[in-house]
């Protein structure tokens, strides 16, 4: 069965610092991987996704993630944090041949200090 583990339920960075949110997955087949962001009292918004091809994926708002098969990881990074990046971030995997179903990690709440 596929699963997703996000390391660290809370991450705090200073404005302008590097953002690194960690995600490891478990999958017996090549996975489709996603990062979503959720702002307070809102639904989820897709940041980026990996399906096939280039392992470095660029998303919206300056975020990017790298798929590393050997490490079963899909960590999310942003070179310079902005106050508006404060939100909850979810890593997710799409089980093979199961349409709209996503398996989410527990989420990481990102705080950005001025």
For residue 84, give the 3-state DSSP assignment: helix
Q: Which residue, 53 or 114, has its beta carbon nearer to other proteins?
A: 53
Joined together, the tokens standing for residue 40 give 């307070």
When asked if residue 100 is in the footprint of other proteins (CB under 8 A), the reply is: yes
Say if CB 87 and CB 39 are below 8 A apart: yes
Contact residue for other proteins among 47, 57, 87, 103 (CB under 8 A): 103
When asked if residue 102 is in the footprint of other proteins (CB under 8 A), the reply is: yes
Contact residue for other proteins among 53, 70, 99, 114 (CB under 8 A): 99
Q: Which residue, 73 or 94, has its beta carbon nearer to other proteins?
A: 94
From residue 31, alpha-carbon distances to 9, 41, 42, 78, 98 in Å are 23, 29, 27, 23, 12
């Amino acid at each position: 069965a596929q699963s997703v583990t996000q390391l660290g339920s809370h991450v705090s960075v200073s404005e302008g610092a590097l953002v690194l949110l960690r995600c490891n997955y478990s999958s017996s087949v090549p996975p489709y991987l996603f990062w979503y962001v959720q702002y307070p009292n809102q639904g989820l918004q897709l940041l980026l996704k990996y399906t096939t091809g280039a392992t470095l994926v660029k998303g919206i708002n300056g975020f990017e993630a790298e798929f590393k098969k050997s490490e079963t990881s899909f960590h999310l990074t942003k070179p310079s944090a902005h106050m508006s990046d404060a939100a909850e971030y979810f890593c997710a995997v799409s089980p093979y041949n199961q349409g709209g179903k996503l398996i989410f990690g527990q989420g990481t709440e990102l705080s950005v200090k001025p």
